[in-house]
Each structure stands twice: as structure tokens, then as C-alpha cells.
């Protein structure tokens, strides 16, 4: 089973010919609204790969539809609270090459309930997984409680914050970062003692254990449409594969295939592929 303490956002997505530069006003070519947030994205990605997923989070009264979408993807939302606060949201600009620029308002994501988190983690057990990111509060308490209970803690240090990352790391089994975040971690003088997974977009991804040789998995070549949520797709799929008992090499390859599918579609959570779709890509080699 996978628990995910993570953000639930309303994504406001604007298509633009290019990412605007500071001071520039740019007309958009399209607009859409969808489910997002790193936590929700990872939960949906893992659930669509067949994992049992329970999301821990919070929304406002304006976000009831986000729970319906999570449930439709197979995510258990019994531990999601409805608060007297706005649901988190993101303003996302996506250019013609599929690259993005994102602004996030945390809203209810920054008001997590310690008792709800404890109840969810205490209902899990050794061998289960907890996924975390930096778009909520209470990460340190959750990671410590999960690690003490024998859960595998997978932590996406994004949006990157050196102090927040350093506080969570003692309880982490697998740290997931993109190449820029990995460089920022090194620049901050933080040397993790856990396994690191570094995603590099079209250059593939690396599995770096604390002892033993590193593993590199190449990306599947595709033409991206929208890279929003690609890292979350990779992480959620990796968590599901490891939870199912796959070894690192197979789990990483499965995650790479899922991310390759996801970036060929518009949207974040809605673009996460199913297990059958990933199987088809892997079967083609």
C-alpha cells in the first residue's frame, strides 16, 4: 500500500507561444482547468499502475470536484479533510515546446492535520510506502512517524528548499530530485545517506544507492506536448513498481516509460497513463 501526504491543487493551465520574460504581457492561446498538485499527481500515477493508494491532504469547499477526480482514478480519499480555506491552486504557462513555468498558492495544503496524518500512517505497516513532497506542511513529522513504523519513505524535494530537505532527509529511504534540484542540494552542502533518484528529462534518470554502483535508465524518445507533472508521473510510477516488488532497474524503466507517455498529453493528473499503456511501451522495447 502507498500513502501520499501531498498537495491537491486546481491547475489553471494557459498555453502560450513562449514563456513570458519579466515585465512582458503575453496573450494566451488556450486555457483549461484540471486536477494537479505534486501530491495528487503522484497519487494518481501510482493508482493507475495498480497500487492501493490512500491520499492524505486537505481541500477547501471549492475543491470537492478534485476528490471526485482522485476517486475516479482509484485513489482512496478517506484521509482528505475539507477545511475553511481555499483549495490550493497553480497558475501554469505551457509553451509550444511543452516547457512550463508555474506559480503555486498553497491554500489548504499548508494546513494539514497532525492527527489525520498520524491516523493514516498508523493504519499502515512495515513494507508499505509513504510519498512526500514540499507542497504541504508536516513533512518532517510524517516522515519520522512512517520511518519508525517500518514504511519506505519516498521524498520529492520539490519545490526545492535546502532547509526543508535537510530536516526530512534523516527519515528518507529514497530521495527524488531533478537535475537542477540535485545541483542545488550539492551547492547547499547536503550529502544524503539514502538512495537518490535523479531525473534528467530526455537524458534519462539515475538510481544512486548509498553503497553499490549507480544505475542509469535512458528516456524513451518522444515529442513532448506538456511536461507538467512528468516528474510526478515518474515518482508515482516508481513508487508503485517498488511497492509491487520490482527491483530498481525494472522499476526505473517502468517509471521512464510512464513519464514518456505522460508528456505526450496535455495536463497533469489527467495525463497519467494506465499500467496497460506502460506495458505496451515496454513490450515494444
Is 17 part of a structural domain of the chain?
Answer: no
The answer to whether the peptide bond before residue 159 is cis (omega within 30 degrees of 0) is: yes
Domain that holds residue 144: 2-7+36-83+112-283
User: Is 22 domain-assigned?
Assistant: no
Q: Burial, 125: exposed, middle or buried (Cβ in 10 Å; 0-12, 13-18, 19+)? A: exposed
> Can you list the residues of the chain whose pLDDT is less than 50?
none
When divided into structural domains, the chain yields a total of: 1
Residue 211 has phi, psi (to 5 degrees) of -140, 140
pTM of the complete model beyond 0.75: yes
Cα maximum dimension of the chain = 52
pLDDT of residue 35: 95
The tens digit of pLDDT for each residue in 7-19 reads 999 999 999 999 9
pLDDT of residue 183: 97
Query: Quick check: is 194 in a domain?
Result: yes
Q: In this structure, is residue 208 part of a structural domain?
A: yes
CATH number at residue 64: 3.40.1190.20
The answer to whether 259 and 218 are in contact (CB under 8 A) is no
Cβ atoms of residues 169 and 175 within 8 Å: yes
Establish if 163 belongs to a structural domain: yes
Q: Cα–Cα distance between 116 and 203 in angstroms, integer?
A: 39
> Is the residue at 266 inside a domain?
yes
**Percent residues over pLDDT 90 in the chain:** 94
84 is catalytic: no
Answer yes or no: is 198 within a domain. Answer: yes
Q: Are 217 and 258 in contact (CB under 8 A)?
A: no
Which residue among 11, 137, 232, 243 is the active-site one?
232
Any domain includes 149: yes
Report the pLDDT value the prediction gives residue 285, as an integer from 0 to 100: 76
Amino acid at each position: 500500500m502507498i500513502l501520499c501526504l501531498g498537495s491537491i491543487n486546481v491547475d489553471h493551465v494557459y498555453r502560450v507561444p513562449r514563456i513570458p520574460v519579466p515585465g512582458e504581457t503575453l496573450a494566451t492561446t488556450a486555457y483549461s482547468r484540471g486536477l494537479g498538485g505534486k501530491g495528487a499527481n503522484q497519487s494518481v500515477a501510482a493508482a493507475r499502475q495498480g497500487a492501493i493508494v490512500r491520499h492524505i491532504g486537505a481541500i477547501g469547499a471549492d475543491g470537492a470536484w478534485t476528490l471526485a477526480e482522485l476517486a475516479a482514478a482509484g485513489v482512496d480519499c478517506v484521509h482528505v479533510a475539507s477545511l475553511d480555506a481555499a483549495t490550493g491552486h497553480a497558475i501554469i504557462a505551457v509553451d509550444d515546446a511543452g516547457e512550463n513555468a508555474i506559480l503555486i498558492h498553497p491554500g489548504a495544503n499548508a494546513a494539514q492535520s497532525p492527527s489525520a496524518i498520524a491516523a493514516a500512517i498508523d493504519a499502515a505497516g512495515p513494507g508499505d510506502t509513504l510519498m512526500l513532497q514540499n507542497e504541504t506542511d508536516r513533512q518532517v513529522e510524517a516522515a519520522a512517524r512512517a520511518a519508525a513504523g517500518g514504511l519506505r519513505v519516498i521524498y520529492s524535494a520539490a519545490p526545492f528548499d535546502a532547509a526543508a530537505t535537510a530536516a526530512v532527509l534523516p527519515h528518507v529511504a529514497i530521495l527524488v530530485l531533478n537535475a537542477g534540484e540535485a545541483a542545488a542540494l550539492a551547492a547547499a552542502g547536503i550529502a544524503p545517506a539514502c538512495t537518490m533518484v535523479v531525473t534528467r528529462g530526455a537524458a534519462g534518470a539515475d538510481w544512486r544507492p548509498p553503497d553499490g554502483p549507480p544505475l542509469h535508465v535512458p528516456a524513451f524518445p518522444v515529442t513532448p506536448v506538456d511536461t507538467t507533472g512528468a516528474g510526478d508521473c515518474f515518482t508515482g510510477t516508481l513508487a508503485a513498481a517498488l511497492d509491487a516488488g520490482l527491483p530498481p532497474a525494472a522499476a526505473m524503466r517502468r517509471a521512464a516509460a510512464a513519464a514518456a507517455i505522460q508528456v505526450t498529453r496535455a495536463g497533469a493528473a489527467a495525463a497519467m497513463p494506465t499500467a496497460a499503456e506502460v506495458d505496451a511501451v515496454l513490450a515494444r522495447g
